[in-house]
Amino acid sequence: MEERKILYRVYSEYLKEKYGEKVYKIPINLPVTCPNRDGNIAYGGCIYCGEEGAGYENLSNTLSVGQQMKENISYIRKKYKAQKFIGYFQNFTNTYMPLETFKRHVKEACIEDVVELSISTRPDCISNEYLDFLYKIKEEKGINITIELGLQSVNYHTLVKINRGHTLGEFIDGVNRIKKYDFQICAHLILNLPWDNELDVIESAKILSALNIDFVKLHSLYIEKNTVLGHQYEKGEVQLITKEEYVERVILFLEYLSPSIVMQRLIGRAPEETTLFMNWNTSWWKIRDQIEEEMAKRKVYQGEKCNYLNGPALKKFA
Ligand code: SF4
């Protein structure tokens, strides 16, 4: 019988395989900011960053981490009969604080039935001291650690344009450090930044594959009101690609991406009320379905063009 090929590796299936059942992410909202907003690295932040950061589904950050975890877990446990959880430090830059404060927050998240902590941060906010502490948590409590790193683009010039405050160099340094601890890494990319083209998409897939990244979250650029990008958009200074072009970019990215990398997301999402532009006024899942339908129709799969690692020029002697 012909083996059914998977289009791309899906995170929910990966989690089920790893933990033997469905695992639920519990968002944790810390009262933190970002060195790219408070003047440490830059003022104002990335040109698309809104006041809420990424975590608009969170509980208030005036609640302690322990309270947020308990409240959310008890709700999700009842609603879905859930038994295993991932504590997800999602909003802004969750390692940007004194080490002792970081330790306190992380320890509070290590409660019963938490199997993993996922900590979202910037590549320039990773250091050995913070990773040493997380390693201790992993060893003592048996909780897996994933670090989510925003990269957004591999293109130096684009990163300057979006006022990212770091470039690929810091990302590679962060990845190398994290990998020494055997934690997993999730990289975030925006595939339709107005200054990037298909070559940047291919290069980003190649770089993440060469670095042995574990997970990827792809985002489509959404434009929030009252941001620098929002003002540029209103003045007609930025042009966005079409939905069809975004679909093509995702397929291209997946073709070049290593088949071992697991996709956590193919497209971003944000509340409509705060945005000037979001996903071409289409539900995120319709665009995901369109990507999957196109791949199935064309019979293209993740990793098909991942032939550039491990000395490809030597293959002619094999
Ligand atoms: S790194 Fe994240 S939180 Fe910081 S300014 Fe950029 S988008 Fe906002």
Q: What is the dihedral of CA 276, 279, 284, 286, to 10 degrees?
A: 130
Q: Could you tell me if residue 318 is inside a domain?
A: no
Answer yes or no: is the C-beta of 162 below 6 A from any ligand 1 atom. Answer: no
How far does the centroid of ligand 1 lie from the alpha carbon of residue 47, in Å?
9
Taking the CA of residue 33 as reference, the ligand 1 atom at the shortest distance is: 3
46 Cβ inside 6 Å of ligand 1: yes
Distance 79 CA to ligand 1 centre (A): 32
Q: Which among 36, 41, 167, 189 is the best mutation to test ligand 1's pocket, defined by most ligand atoms within 8 Å of the CB?
A: 36
Split into its structural domains, the chain has a count of 1
> What are the tens digits of pLDDT across the range 77-116?
999 999 999 999 998 899 999 999 999 999 999 999 999 9
Domain assignment of residue 299, yes or no:
yes
Q: Is 2 domain-assigned?
A: no
Beta bridge partners of 287: none
Is 104 a domain residue? yes
pTM over 0.85: yes
In a domain, 219, yes or no: yes
| Cβ(34) – ligand 1 distance below 6 Å | yes
**Residue 315 forms part of a structural domain:** no
Cα(275) to centroid of ligand 1, in Å? 17
164 Cα to the center of ligand 1, angstroms? 8
* Cβ(96) – ligand 1 distance below 6 Å: no
Q: Assess if residue 175 is contained within a domain.
A: yes
pLDDT tens by residue, 23-70? 999 999 998 889 999 999 999 899 999 876 555 557 777 889 999 999
Question: Going by C-beta distance under 8 Å and a sequence separation of 6 or more, which residues neighbour residue 216?
Answer: 186, 187, 188, 189, 208, 257, 261, 262, 263, 264, 265
**C-alpha closest to that of 196 among 188, 207, 208, 204:** 204
Q: Which domain holds residue 299?
A: 11-305
**Residue 153 dihedral angles phi and psi, to the nearest 5°:** -150, 155
pLDDT along the chain (318 residues), means of 10: 77 96 95 92 92 62 91 94 95 94 97 97 97 98 98 98 97 98 97 98 98 98 95 96 98 98 94 90 96 97 97 94
What is the CATH classification number for the domain harbouring 110?
3.80.30.30
Note whether residue 292 is domain-resident. yes
